Amino acid sequence: MYVDNASVPARKPVTVPGLRAMKAQGRKIVMLTAYDASFAHQLEAAGVDVALVGDSLGMVVQGHRSTLPVTLEHMVYHTAAVARGLHATLLVADLPFMADRDTGHTLEAAARLVGEAGAAAVKIEGAAPHILDAIAALTARAVPVCAHLGLTPQSVHKFGGFRIQGREQEAADRVLAEALAVQSAGADLLVLEGVPSALGERVTRAVQIPVVGIGAGPHCDGQVLVIYDMLGITPGRRPKFSKDFLAGRNSVAEAIAAFAEDVRNGAFPAPEHCFD
Question: Catalytic positions, please?
Answer: 193
Measured CA to CA, the distance from residue 127 to residue 106 in angstroms comes to 14
Min dist. Cβ of residue 55 to ligand KIV (A): 5
CA neighbours within 13 Å on the CB side: how many for 186?
Answer: 18
Min dist. Cβ of residue 1 to ligand KIV (A): 27
Among 30, 42, 47, 56, interactor with ligand KIV by CB under 6 A? 56
**Torsions phi, psi for 88 (to 5 deg):** -100, -25
Any binding-site annotation on 244?
Answer: no
CB 60 within 8 A of CB 226: yes
**Residue closer to ligand KIV, measured from CB, 104 or 238:** 238
Determine, following the binding rule CB under 6 A, whether residue 89 of this chain makes contact with ligand KIV. Answer: no
Determine, following the binding rule CB under 6 A, whether residue 55 of this chain makes contact with ligand KIV. Answer: yes
Determine, following the binding rule CB under 6 A, whether residue 114 of this chain makes contact with ligand KIV. Answer: no
Handedness of CA 12, 17, 18, 19 (dihedral sign): positive
Determine, following the binding rule CB under 6 A, whether residue 54 of this chain makes contact with ligand KIV. Answer: yes
Measured CA to CA, the distance from residue 81 to residue 37 in angstroms comes to 5
Measured from each CB, the residue nearest to ligand KIV is: 54
Determine, following the binding rule CB under 6 A, whether residue 49 of this chain makes contact with ligand KIV. Answer: no
Min dist. Cβ of residue 4 to ligand KIV (A): 26
Indicate the Cα dihedral angle 218, 20, 153, 170, nearest 10°.
Answer: -70
**Residue closer to ligand KIV, measured from CB, 49 or 55:** 55
Min dist. Cβ of residue 60 to ligand KIV (A): 8
For residue 89, give the nearest of 132, 7, 33, 162 by alpha carbon. Answer: 33
How many amino acids of this chain bind ligand KIV (CB under 6 A)? 12
| Near ligand KIV in 200-219, by CB under 6 A | 214
State the binding string over 147-176 for ligand KIV (x if CB under 6 A, else -).
-x----------------------------
Residue numbers in the known binding site are 55-56, 94, 123, 125
> Residues interacting with ligand KIV, by CB under 6 A?
33, 52, 54-56, 94, 148, 191, 193, 214, 224, 226
